[in-house]
Amino acid sequence: MTENVSEKKGRESGPDLIRTIACFFVVGAHFYLNMDYYQEPMAGTKMFIMTTLRWLFVTAVPLFFMLTGYFKKNKKADRNHYMAAVPLIFSYVAVSVMKMLLYNRIYGKIYSFGDMLKNLGNYQIAWYMGLYLCVFLLIPFLNKGWYALSEKEQNILIATLVFLCTVYPVLKYIAPAYFTGIYPVLFYFLGIAVRDRRWRANRLVLAAVLFVTLLAEGFISMKFTSTGVFDWNLISVSDGTYGTFFISVCTVCIFLLLYDVKIGSKIISRILASVSAVSFEIYLFAGAYDAIIYQYVKKHVQGAVNAFWWFFITVPASFLCAYISSIIFTRIRDLILRIPGRFSRS
């Protein structure tokens, strides 16, 4: 989730803003899992609002991959590239072990030593790490392939990936489903394209498209569910939700709205840079604080609809606690690994 965002002209505020929002979206999405949203009947105004926001929050993962392409487009298969994975792996192992020990304390012993090793190895404790690591290993070769193409061929490649990765859940009898899982490659290439071509569109149009798409997702999810609860296979698939057509539209709209935003306040810029620098660790720590926070909430209220207003307390609280913990942890980690510079990322 973290890449170098420094340029000769200075640090870009837009990507830091996108990463901070995406990070908040991740924590927001955890509310749904922890408060049993997926078992709630799809009915009522509150459920419609939550469902619409749910679709907004799941743009977090594709936004992170667009940012990866935006910043990693020049990486080659050399020592510098592969060594950049060391801090992430360190964070993943250390924080994941702490989380499993915490879960054992809260829920009883659910992780033995062997279970801990197994869950670290199969990335069940932090699934995004496994996905990102796969893309990370491919980055030098994705870059080489992308820049071997002409601009016309690059456009055809993106169109092909849109068809292969995103159309199936919407048009199941036209598009094949075999490649829905390679959506990170689509968003990676989109990130490169935005960086190289500096795409700009009317922000009012982008905002309108984003708003209408979110409303459509919420309406379809509520109106056409075949199960009475959230239907994963209605306009998405269980293992490829992040690459569906509607999510792709929303992701691109958000990215184009914000990537070239200029923030004049140095204080706000530094806060965004600080959050951006530890976004991966926030993702890791948030799960631990969710376990603590939602255990308390469930003593007072049951169900996502009944906990509607709790969202505005639990999500900011989890985000803030995870952010503070991440700052402390990464400073200790960087001392151990001898990583120089504040906000430095490779």
Q: pLDDT per residue over 199-258, tens digit each?
A: 988 999 999 999 999 999 999 999 998 889 999 888 887 565 788 899 999 999 999 999
Tokens representing residue 57 in the block: 């929050």
Q: Where are the alpha helices (DSSP H) in 79-182?
A: 79-83, 85-107, 113-122, 127-147, 151-166
Tokens representing residue 306 in the block: 């009944």
Q: pLDDT per residue over 115-165, tens digit each?
A: 999 999 999 999 999 999 999 999 999 999 999 999 999 999 999 999 988
Nearest Cα to Cα of residue 221 among 61, 36, 48 = 48
Residue 42 near residue 51, CB atoms below 8 Å: yes
Per-residue confidence (pLDDT) for residue 3, from 0 to 100: 57
Q: pTM for the full model?
A: 0.93
Per-residue confidence (pLDDT) for residue 178, from 0 to 100: 85
The rounded distance, in Å, linking the Cα atoms of 154 and 205 is 25
Other beta carbons less than 10 A from residue 270's beta carbon:
15
The radius of gyration of the chain from alpha carbons, rounded to an integer in Å, stands at: 20
| Domain boundary assignment for the chain | 13-337
The rounded distance, in Å, linking the Cα atoms of 251 and 188 is 12
| Residue where the block lists tokens 């490169």 | 192
Mean pLDDT to the nearest integer, 175-185 = 88
The rounded distance, in Å, linking the Cα atoms of 165 and 181 is 7
